[in-house]
């Protein structure tokens, strides 16, 4: 299926909404999600595959609280990277397991990522290693340490407005 060629229907929208809620930690979680949506687990899995193939659903994974599993220190970093090296430096940054997001932006510092560590010293050491391996200087980095986590959760509501008719998004 070509990405973008699949137009989600009301059932797909219900699936997308349900998947953004807590997926239960039970032996057969898809049975529970399917029941919530009002379809069989077989249909749920088929539709999830169609949504994945269309590029709408990238995957399903847990949201981990890094502070609770030993990485309480974090920072948002922006790097000034020459245009011809953005892909190379982005790949280097993404190779670090302590990096949770990595984005290209239209900005004088085009590469933005989050970096987490055991403590502030660990985060600084990781950032120094990234800069050294990328051949960048400290002046090429905006280092914006987290002072207080305010909101991490994001959920897109599609049922309120289908096809651009509300805060639900572009569907």
| pLDDT single digits (tens) 77-117 | 999 999 899 999 999 999 999 998 899 999 999 999 999 88
Domain, as residue range, for 34: 10-62
- The mean per-residue pLDDT over the stretch 69-80 comes to 85
Do 54 and 71 fall into the same domain?
A: no
- The mean per-residue pLDDT over the stretch 31-50 comes to 97
H helices of the chain, where? 10-19, 29-37, 41-53, 86-94, 120-134
For 154, the 3-state DSSP assignment is coil
Backbone angles phi, psi at 89, to 5 degrees: -70, -35
* pLDDT single digits (tens) 124-150: 999 999 999 999 999 999 999 888 777
CA–CA separation, 50 and 68 (whole Å): 35
Residue 9 clears pLDDT 60, i.e. is over it: yes
Residue 68 clears pLDDT 80, i.e. is over it: no
pLDDT bin (cut points 50, 70, 90) of residue 63 is low
Neighbours of 5 (CB within 10 A): 9
Do 21 and 73 fall into the same domain?
A: no
Do 81 and 133 fall into the same domain?
A: yes
Do 141 and 79 fall into the same domain?
A: yes
101 is known as an active-site residue: yes
CATH code where residue 21 lies: 1.10.10.2890
Say how many domains are in the chain.
Answer: 2
CA–CA separation, 41 and 51 (whole Å): 15
Residue 157 CA to chain centroid, in angstroms?
Answer: 17
User: Token digits for 72?
Assistant: 């309480």
Q: Is residue 87 part of a domain?
A: yes
Q: Which entry of 101, 107, 122, 163 is annotated as an active-site residue? A: 101
Do 82 and 101 fall into the same domain?
A: yes
Q: Is residue 108 part of a domain?
A: yes
- Inter-CA distances, 13 with 7, 18, 86, 158, Å: 10, 9, 35, 6
């Amino acid at each position: 299926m070509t990405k973008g060629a699949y137009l989600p229907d009301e059932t797909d929208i219900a699936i997308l909404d349900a998947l953004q809620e807590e997926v239960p930690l039970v032996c057969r979680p898809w049975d529970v999600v399917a029941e919530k949506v009002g379809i069989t687990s077989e249909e749920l899995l088929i539709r999830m595959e169609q949504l994945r193939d269309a590029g709408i659903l990238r995957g399903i994974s847990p949201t981990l609280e890094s502070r609770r599993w030993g990485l309480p220190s974090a920072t948002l970093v922006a790097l000034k990277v020459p245009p011809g090296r953005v892909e190379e430096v982005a790949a280097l940054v993404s190779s670090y397991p302590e990096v949770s997001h990595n984005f290209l932006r239209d900005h004088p510092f085009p590469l933005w990522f989050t970096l987490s560590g055991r403590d502030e010293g660990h985060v600084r050491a990781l950032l120094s290693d990234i800069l050294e391996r990328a051949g960048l200087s400290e002046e090429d980095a905006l280092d914006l340490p987290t002072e207080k986590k305010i909101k991490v959760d994001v959920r897109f509501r599609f049922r309120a407005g289908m096809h651009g008719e509300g805060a639900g998004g572009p569907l």
